[in-house]
Amino acid sequence: MSRSAQEAAALLRGLRILLEACGREHLAHGRHLWSNSSIRELIAENVAHTQQLVRSSSQNPTEELKKLQQTVKETGERGYVVAKGICSLLETKIKMSREESAISEPAQVSSIRKSTPTAQNPASWDAANLDISSITLQEFEEILSRRNKDRSVSLRTPATKSNQTMPKKETSTNPGIITQDTEYVNNVLRFVAGAKVEEQPPDAQPKKKSDQPAIEVPELSKVAKQRKVPSSRIGRMASFGGLFAGLGLGTLNELTKGALGLGGSTSMREALLSPANAERIVDTLCKVRGAALKIGQILSIQDSSVVSPQLAKAFERVRQAADYMPDWQVERVMNTQLGADWRQRLKSFEDKPFAAASIGQVHRATLSDGMDVAIKIQYPGVAQSIESDIDNLVGMLKVWDVFPQGFFIDNVVRVAKRELQWEVDYDREAEYTEKFREMIAPYPEYYVPRVVRDLTTSSVLTTELVPGVPLDKCFDLSYEHRRHIAASVLKLCLRELFEIECMQTDPNWSNFLYDAPSRRLMLIDFGSTRFYRHEFIRNYRRVIMSAAENNRQGVLEMSREMGFLTGYETKQMEQAHVDAVMILGEIFRYDGDFDFGRQNTTERLAALVPTMVAHRLCPPPEEIYSIHRKLSGIFLLCARLNVRMNCVPFYKDIVLGKFKD
């Protein structure tokens, strides 16, 4: 063999050795990747799951077939929700873009005016200096709005204007009025629903004058912003369509990341309640407000066994929402409800509200006779969209299997719809305010403001502006004041139930004001007020009496008679129900100063909720939703006030003494 042939053979052997070494290296690297890959575990889990399905199918094929049918059904429903949301977005894209551009026009006009020299001169806003042909109607509304923004509007002549201005707010010197324990207050108020006035720092509180005390009103926080409420049916449907599609895509994204080991979730429930989806829920409900926002607020107070903590946290953010209508939208609502001359009927009107809630916002104003009033203005479109808003939100949550079976969400929704129909009818609220004012007149420790009928419609309610601070701002008052507040609130609740059989069922403590100088409770916001059937109150009284007498059998028998129980419940369910009633009756059994600050009523009741939800066979009577919502709020308020008081005299005087059977 020649030398060249030998060299070629040696070269080929070297290449072969090199290729074999590279192959072994790549194989080792591949094995290393496979041993550390989540795909291997995922395949193993799927194989094990498949084997388990095969075994269970062979043992019980009928049950497995039902599960398969249910899975296919749920998958189809969820896919339909996503498809429906995407279709809604596509159908309304053009309309929404036009609407958003129309909404943004006032802000754009405002920016243009600020950037030009004439915008700095108020004279440039006069009709003589405007080119009407070059501006739109909304631009003109914005110009009018800017003239009135951040100031009280005086409708008096220049000669008398200086004598008619509102008193100037000064810094409060009483830091005890407003607690700094905001986080604790928010946790307490999670158990109550309804509107919430935003807290403000102590230095923003006005100071009372020694000769003529001014009425103090809270203010919205600095983070509150103007945001148009979608009033048309198409606009609201488009908002929910976007939410449906966003939740579906967000859930799919989380599941995909979980399958690939990129930090997502492999659980459908956890993927649905991801932080991104929670943000979508909060943003949409804060935008549409109204009934959907109210349902979100109600769900925020449920136990974690009923609504997941992630969803409850999202709804809690919804409950704290404080967005309010832009000035031009307020002007439009007031013109529609009271006429174009409504400002001429007032001496002053503050354009920025001092409170904003799920259904409306509240402005301070002064009548021509000098009377200070609170004007509550309803968001446009919320009254007409109660049915559709609630059905859209709850339907979506039901499809995604958010509620446990024993929650009876359909019953909750039916009651919520009826109560919301009451709350959006301001004519009804005005009537009940006047009725309650008359019924509570014999008790001087309470005061109900007068209604100004001339400035009240179905969507605008004007009442006397009363002094006082919300009860959740009274936790740092002296013990004497705190005990007086707790006793007054508890006696009011008992009188509502067993004397007048009519209750203001919204326990939001921003709707109850305490006036320290007069030691009176100012009762406001009667939108959720209702009367109860005498027969129901009579039977409920017997339940309370049995609990106060430590008669467990009496509680059980009356609960069956009233419809709390069917008689076919498990012993575990019956015991949990009776335990809950006995816990509520403790304050009437303890003949001494009951320590609300150290009681654990809320914790013990919360421990019973999972059992009652899992084993309940029928929904409770519809009246009980509002009563127990109010009672829960009272227990929590008394606990936060940290008072000790003997409740037995209240029980004997009101429950036993004054009830007419």
Burial (CB count within 10 angstroms: exposed 0-12, middle 13-18, buried 19+), residue 202: middle
Paired tokens of 631: 């009672």
- CA-nearest of 212, 217, 243, 219 to 230 is 243
Residue 41: phi and psi, rounded to 5, are -65, -40
Distance CA 660, CA 657 (A): 9
Two tokens at 308? 């997941």
Which position among 327, 389, 472, 506 bears the catalytic label?
506
Alpha carbons 627 and 141: distance in angstroms, whole number: 45
Q: CA nearest 636: which of 589, 584, 601? A: 601
Cα separation, 612 vs 564, whole angstroms: 11
DSSP code string of 500-561: S-EEE----GGGEEEETTTTEEEE---TTEEE--HHHHHHHHHHHHHHHTT-HHHHHHHHHH
Contact, 461 vs 420, CB < 8 A?
no
Residue 506 bears catalytic tag: yes
Helix, strand, coil tally for the chain in percent (to 5):
60, 10, 30
What Cα–Cα distance (Å) separates residue 68 from each residue in 17, 55, 73, 404, 449?
A: 55, 15, 9, 21, 61
**Around Cβ 288, how many Cβ atoms within 10 Å?**
26
8 Å CB contact between 181 and 218: no
Count helices and strands (H / E) in the chain. 23, 13
C-alpha angle 542-547-551 in degrees, rounded to nearest 5? 95
- Which residues belong to the active site? 506
